[in-house]
Amino acid sequence: MSDLELKALVFDVFGTVVDWRTSIANEVSNQLKNKGFDLNWLAFSEAWRAKYQPSMEGVRSGKRGYVRLDVLHLENLMEVLEEFKVSGLSSAELDYLNKAWHRLKPWPDSVSGLQRLKKKFIIGTMSNGNVALMVNMAKHSDLPWDVILGAEPAQAYKPDPKTYLTGVEWLGLQPDEVLMCAAHNKDLVAARDQGLKTAFIARPTEYGENQSLDIKAEHEFDYITTDMNDLADQLGC
């Protein structure tokens, strides 16, 4: 496929563009240490993230109407705080802690790679994160998005086809003019099934040194890359 056929690149964000694991661990540590808690901060981060996919199942199944990820994150946070025996936080402290997801830091190659890609293509999110979360993260971490697409505009969570196709429609493009970029095989397969082009970006330490899932591309995608700058190289940016 010629990259000249592509008009836009859309990105999974959590894990692909930003390092949620250490970002959340640092945010939680910074806040809770001051309250006298001494926890395994990475374990806390992983436990919070582990509730991410299950918490969306009610929306995906239709048992619950669409709610923003900020709401789900807060519900999940309350459970994790109880599991780690953390209590005594005020409403303002809970809100600030929950919005740690708005302050995630990018992988070292993300900003430079996105800046290169932006010179040639429209670049945007295709994330389950809500719009405010994505915008605040972009401001915090200098992510140069042209547009925020994904779950909230579609009122549906990936891998629902509506999520990908709403983004394509809002761009005024055809699916094969849009490249879905992600570090997760299932995300890319779901996008490919809707006609989008696909790029795998390896993030073999998203879940730490002992990661076993999504170490490499497990399907035939249009591009298989080692990081964001490698993607820019392959696309001639």
In this structure, which amino acid lies at residue 183?
A
> What percent of the residues of the chain are helix, what percent strand, and what percent coil, each to the nearest 5?
50, 15, 35
The beta-strand segments (E) located in the chain are 8-11, 122-127, 147-150, 178-182, 197-201, 223-225
Output the pLDDT for position 3.
Answer: 57
Output the pLDDT for position 144.
Answer: 98
What is the number of other CB atoms lying within 10 angstroms of the CB of residue 57? Answer: 11
Residue numbers in the chain where pLDDT is lower than 50: 1
Output the pLDDT for position 210.
Answer: 86
β-bridge mates for residue 181, sequence order: 11, 199
Instruction: Work out the angle between the directed axes of helices 69-83 and 91-98 (0-180°, nearest 10).
Output: 110
Do the beta carbons of residue 166 and residue 154 sit within 8 Å?
yes
Domains of the chain in sequence order: 3-19+105-234 (3.40.50.1000), 21-103 (1.10.150.240)
Output the pLDDT for position 1.
Answer: 46
Output the pLDDT for position 4.
Answer: 58
